[in-house]
Structure 1
Amino acid sequence: MANFIVLFVAIASFYVQIAIGQRSPTISYISQTQIKDIGGTVELSCSVQYTQDYSVVWMKVDKVVTGNSLPISSGSGLILHDSRFSLRYDPTSSTYVLQIKDIQETDAGTYSCQIIISPNNRVSAEVEVEVRRPPFISDNSTRSVVVSEGEAVQMECYAGGYPPPKISWRRENNAILPTGGSIYRGTTLKIKSVHKEDRGTYYCVAENGVGRGTKRNIAVEVEFAPVVTVSKPRLGQALQYDMDLECHVEAYPPPAITWEKDGITLSNNQHYKISHFAVADEFTDTTLRVITIEKRQYGQYKCKAANKLGTSEEQVELFESIIPVCPPACGSSRYGEASTLSTSSATLFISIIIFIYRSFNAQH
């Protein structure tokens, strides 16, 4: 009986060995997706079975370029010579643990644990490694826009990073967006019909919770026809005194500005001095100084502005007054005159005396 039992055990062991030898190698466990911060450490585990006669390797797989995968280890030894990589093998569980320290952005990707059966036959399992990266705005995003008033405009903003960043739009000083509200969310900001009030700086903001986020300034320039305004359409001044006629011009591109009287375009000479003061790309203040006024210089003056989108004009009337108006009769440092306040005051006082004297004589 004892001999029979020994024989039975021997036969059973023989068939067990045959059965084991017929089993295919398998991967029983692979780590789940790993999400790590830059500079952190990640461990990737791969447990295998029935691999006594086969090699187990770790590879980083390039899914974009076929055949561009990077071998990292074979068996229990590293192939890749990088001090940040290490490999541990636990024979009790047949587990290969790949460790990567000081993780960089370039370490993100797909890692494959493979059992090499033959050149054309292998068993594999994959794990994704994602590295948290602060957002960045792609170069194919809008940088600036030049559009004519009334046209549609579209601005685009694309960003990368991990987790995928969210995009929002804002205006300088939190001004209201043409779409309504102070914030718009989405990769594309559309304005169906742009107005000159929509010009200015827009911000594309990308945020994903990593770092402080990033933003890009987008300059929106709206071309529009000139708009001319005058604050004082009628001005009086006494003979032989100077007077300043002023108008304000709003336009983009910057317009050509002229002053006219009786259909004649004026220029700088002994009778007139024209000055332009650009306070911004779209705003210009222009002043026509009428010098030592003569009778023929009273009348209507036109302030005209023109650019490629149109023209605009406004009139300023200069009429005769008895008492000199100060300024500019009392002098102004704006034009670099050497007149002093005391001299101008004296001149004004004498003019008043003369006016009173003439009026008195006229009544007698």
Structure 2
Amino acid sequence: MASFIIEYFTLLIFFLSLGNCQRTPTISHITQEQIRDIGGQVDLDCSVHYAQDYPVLWLKYDRHKSTESLPLSTNSGLIIRDSRFSLRFDAASATYTLSIKDIQETDAGWYLCQVIMSVSNKITAEVELQVRRPPIISDNSTRSIVTSQGESAQMECYAGGFPPPKISWRRENNAILPTGGSIYRGNILKMNSVHKEDRGTYYCVAENGVGRGARRNINLEVEFAPVVTVPRPRLGQALQYDMDLECHVEAYPPPAITWLKNEVQLSNNQHYRISHFATADEFTDTTLRVITIEKRQYGLFTCKAQNKLGTAQGTVELFEMIIPVCPPACGQTRYAGAAPAPAPRRLPALALAAALARIFSTRY
């Protein structure tokens, strides 16, 4: 009988020890994906059973570079020295809790709970920590663009951040976009045929609900041939007085502007004074002042504008009048390299009377 009892307990101990040997470590629970704001806090739980004799680790790793991982803790102790990290172990639930406070953007990523049984035998579970980040427009986005009228063009805008930002396009002063409407949504703004009216500043706006969003100003320059307009095609002035002839030029790139009379190019001298005033990259006002007009200076004058895309011109006719036009015939003006223009002279009494008579007869 005694030998039977001994054999029974021996078998019982054997089967109990065999059952214990078959109990391999298991991870019964790990925290689901977490989303936090910068500066917040998060707790990552990992419940591990039957792992008393094995190291249990928390690691941070890069999914794209699986060989690169950073061990954070082993069993109930931290490996890294960072006051923002802490570790708790609850023996009742066999749960290892990794806490992170004052969350930074660099804390985003995948966290791995791992039990190491041998060099080639490990069990793991993972959880992703997403950190909300305001949008940042990427360097591969368009900064500026130059194209010619009639050609196609496109602007690209990409942004990082979490949640992934949405991209929209606007124009300065809410002007209509080439695609129609005042807002276009998408990473690429494409224009099939650019017009000179499309030039200006475009805004790429990235928004994801975090912070105030991000914006980039993109300048679109459209190259086009000159367009010349003449505000006053016919001008009259009396002999020996000055007169200003004007042309407005619109072109990009800025054109070379010349004034001609009888196909001869004019230059600054005692008879003429040429000035250009650029009001913007595409707009130039040019003025030719005819100084102390002589009889031979009446006639047609041409202002000509030329850039790599074409040429345009306008004409102004200067004709003789008896009564001087004021301005620019008022007072004296001294020009660099030229004698002062004479003060308005008195018209002969007979000529003045005849002019007044013509005016009177015309009106009545």
Q: Is this a same-fold pair by TM over 0.5?
A: yes
Q: Aligned partners of 1:27, 1:15: CA distance in 2, in Å?
A: 25
Q: How many Å apart are 1:256 and its aligned residue?
A: 0.3
2:126 corresponds in structure 1 to 126
Measured at CA, do residues 245 and 119 of structure 1 come closer, stay the same or move farther in structure 2, by a change above 3 Å? same
The answer on 1:68 being equivalent to 2:64 is no
Q: Aligned partners of 2:207, 2:187: CA distance in 1, in Å?
A: 12
Sequence identity, in percent? Answer: 68
The one-letter amino acid of 1:283's match is: F
Q: Map 1:184-263 to 2 at 5 A.
A: 184-263=184-263
Q: Aligned partners of 1:217, 1:358: CA distance in 2, in Å?
A: 64
Q: Aligned partners of 1:290, 1:360: CA distance in 2, in Å?
A: 26
CA contact (8 A) 1:142 1:218 kept: yes
Q: Aligned partners of 1:303, 1:353: CA distance in 2, in Å?
A: 38
**Higher mean C-alpha displacement, 27-36 vs 324-333:** 324-333
Q: How many Å apart are 1:331 and its aligned residue?
A: 4.2
The answer on 1:39 being equivalent to 2:31 is no
**Higher mean C-alpha displacement, 15-24 vs 142-151:** 15-24
Q: Map 1:7-156 to 2 at 5 A.
A: 15-156=15-156
Measured at CA, do residues 333 and 56 of structure 1 come closer, stay the same or move farther in structure 2, by a change above 3 Å? farther
- Work out the number of aligned pairs and report it: 354
Q: Aligned partners of 2:325, 2:104: CA distance in 1, in Å?
A: 75
Root-mean-square deviation (CA, aligned residues, Å) is 2.8
CA contact (8 A) 2:229 2:247 kept: yes
CA contact (8 A) 1:167 1:186 kept: yes
Q: Aligned partners of 2:225, 2:12: CA distance in 1, in Å?
A: 99
Q: Aligned partners of 1:21, 1:361: CA distance in 2, in Å?
A: 131
Measured at CA, do residues 300 and 26 of structure 1 come closer, stay the same or move farther in structure 2, by a change above 3 Å? same
The answer on 1:355 being equivalent to 2:351 is yes
Measured at CA, do residues 359 and 59 of structure 1 come closer, stay the same or move farther in structure 2, by a change above 3 Å? closer
Deviations 1:14-59 (A, max 9, x none): 6344323202211000000011111111110000111122111100
Measured at CA, do residues 13 and 90 of structure 1 come closer, stay the same or move farther in structure 2, by a change above 3 Å? farther
Measured at CA, do residues 19 and 335 of structure 1 come closer, stay the same or move farther in structure 2, by a change above 3 Å? farther
Q: Aligned partners of 2:163, 2:149: CA distance in 1, in Å?
A: 39
The answer on 1:169 being equivalent to 2:165 is no
Measured at CA, do residues 149 and 334 of structure 1 come closer, stay the same or move farther in structure 2, by a change above 3 Å? farther
The one-letter amino acid of 1:291's match is: I
Q: How many Å apart are 1:13 and its aligned residue?
A: 6.9
Unpaired runs of at least 5, structure 2: 359-364
Q: Aligned partners of 2:160, 2:284: CA distance in 1, in Å?
A: 42
TM-score by length of 2: 0.91
What is the SS of the residue equivalent to 2:193?
coil
CA contact (8 A) 2:302 2:313 kept: yes
1:310 corresponds in structure 2 to 310
What is the SS of the residue equivalent to 1:69?
strand
Q: How many Å apart are 1:351 and its aligned residue?
A: 3.1
What is the SS of the residue equivalent to 1:66?
strand
CA contact (8 A) 2:322 2:355 kept: no
Q: How many Å apart are 1:61 and its aligned residue?
A: 1.1
Deviations 1:236-278 (A, max 9, x none): 1111111110000000000000000001000001110101011
The one-letter amino acid of 2:108's match is: A
The one-letter amino acid of 1:306's match is: Q
Measured at CA, do residues 132 and 333 of structure 1 come closer, stay the same or move farther in structure 2, by a change above 3 Å? farther
Measured at CA, do residues 359 and 331 of structure 1 come closer, stay the same or move farther in structure 2, by a change above 3 Å? closer
Deviations 1:208-261 (A, max 9, x none): 111000101111111110000001101111111111100000000000000000
CA contact (8 A) 1:39 1:103 kept: yes
The one-letter amino acid of 2:181's match is: G
Measured at CA, do residues 208 and 111 of structure 1 come closer, stay the same or move farther in structure 2, by a change above 3 Å? same
Measured at CA, do residues 62 and 361 of structure 1 come closer, stay the same or move farther in structure 2, by a change above 3 Å? closer
